[in-house]
Amino acid sequence: MATAHDRWDDMILPFQLDRADVRGRVARLDGVLDRILAQHDYPPAIEALVAEATLLTAMIGQMIDLRWKLSLQVRGNGPARIIATDYYAPAEPGQPARMRAYASFDPERLENVEDPFSAIGAGYLAILIDQGRGTEPYQGITPLAGGSLAACAEQYFAQSEQLPTRFRLAFGKSMLPGGREGWRAGGIMIQQMPAASGLSGEADREENWRRAVMLLETVEDLELIGPHVSPADLVYRLFHEEAPRVFPPQKVEFGCSCSPERVRESLSIYSAKDIGHMTTPEGIVTADCQFCGAHYEFDPQTLGFEAKEPAGDGE
């Protein structure tokens, strides 16, 4: 039987604090994160990084007026080489957004890592916004610092958008009804709205922001991931004196954009010689999606810019 908690699973709740010139998002990604991490057998440190990046991507992606895709990428020189997440805006109003994520890492170098963030090493966090065909993608980059991906995202907004931003995240495995272990993940972000949109003077804006941050710091992990506090109730509990307004929630589901056509397009840059090196002894070229694990097989004669036969659909 469905519970109230089920209705909070895999959703993002937008809200605004009218007396504080602050906007925000509450996210729950229990089932989505479970599906993302089930695609791979990640070590705990990598699971934690993917969980943190996925929560950040959900809240940032839903806040932007997005027509297609927002990506968050973390690249470093440590054993955790790449963390990549994508948030796809709903194709139509009322439809769910889609998310996917994956990580590339060196398992041998992870053996002595205690803190997941330190596993990334030196590198950067990038946010990429692609509004689709006919538009120029936007990319913003910030160095890795501050001890967490959330701190890096806060620095990104401070530098690139000049918008003070704070995140609180919680995630981990818990025992679900029926004895199955599953992921619980929740987060909340607040962001000061642009000055032009506010009604307060600058001194009041700064005081309102400090108070909102102070209130955010009182949130407990169990409120973010537990079964007893709904996202709307959490907003009112934290910010009831700031005149909070909540808006319709956005549902989220796991989804991947890979297809035979997209994989074939990615292989179109290679020469016949390169394609030959990729061909298996059985005479096929194979490719696996890093996000969802889908497996594709192609006739090498139909690949590369020197393809000799018309492209088929692939299998």
Question: Rounded to the nearest 5°, which phi and psi values hold at 131?
Answer: -90, 10
285 shares its domain with 138? no
Do 168 and 177 meet the contact criterion of CB atoms below 8 Å apart?
Answer: no
Give the number of residues written for the chain: 315
Residues near 188 by Cβ (< 8 Å), separated by ≥ 6? 24, 25, 26, 27, 59, 167, 168, 216, 219, 224, 234, 238
Q: How far is CA 67 from the centre of its chain?
A: 16
167 shares its domain with 218? yes
**Does pTM top 0.75 for this prediction?**
yes
239 shares its domain with 269? no
Task: From first to last of the 315 residues of the chain, give the pLDDT tens digit.
Answer: 344 456 778 999 999 999 999 999 999 999 999 999 988 889 999 999 999 999 999 999 999 988 899 999 999 999 999 999 999 999 888 899 999 999 999 998 988 888 999 999 999 999 999 998 888 899 999 999 999 999 999 999 999 889 999 999 999 887 666 667 778 899 999 999 987 655 556 778 899 999 999 999 999 999 999 888 999 999 999 999 999 999 999 999 998 887 778 888 887 878 888 778 788 888 888 887 788 777 888 887 887 777 777 665 444
Write down the pLDDT at residue 43: 94
241 shares its domain with 264? no
Q: Has residue 295 been placed in a domain?
A: yes
Q: Has residue 309 been placed in a domain?
A: no
40 shares its domain with 167? yes
Structural domains in the chain (count):
2
Q: Has residue 185 been placed in a domain?
A: yes
Distances (CA, A) of 176 to 10, 31, 146, 288: 16, 11, 33, 31
Q: Has residue 226 been placed in a domain?
A: yes
Burial readout 192-218 (b: 16 or more C-beta within 10 A, e: otherwise): bbeeeebeeeeeebeebbebbeebbee
232 shares its domain with 295? no
Range of the domain at 268: 260-302
Q: Has residue 307 been placed in a domain?
A: no
Q: Has residue 310 been placed in a domain?
A: no
201 shares its domain with 154? yes
269 shares its domain with 149? no
184 shares its domain with 94? yes
Q: Has residue 23 been placed in a domain?
A: yes
Write down the pLDDT at residue 175: 64
190 shares its domain with 295? no
CATH number for the domain harbouring residue 65:
3.55.30.10
277 shares its domain with 247? no
283 shares its domain with 177? no
Q: Has residue 315 been placed in a domain?
A: no
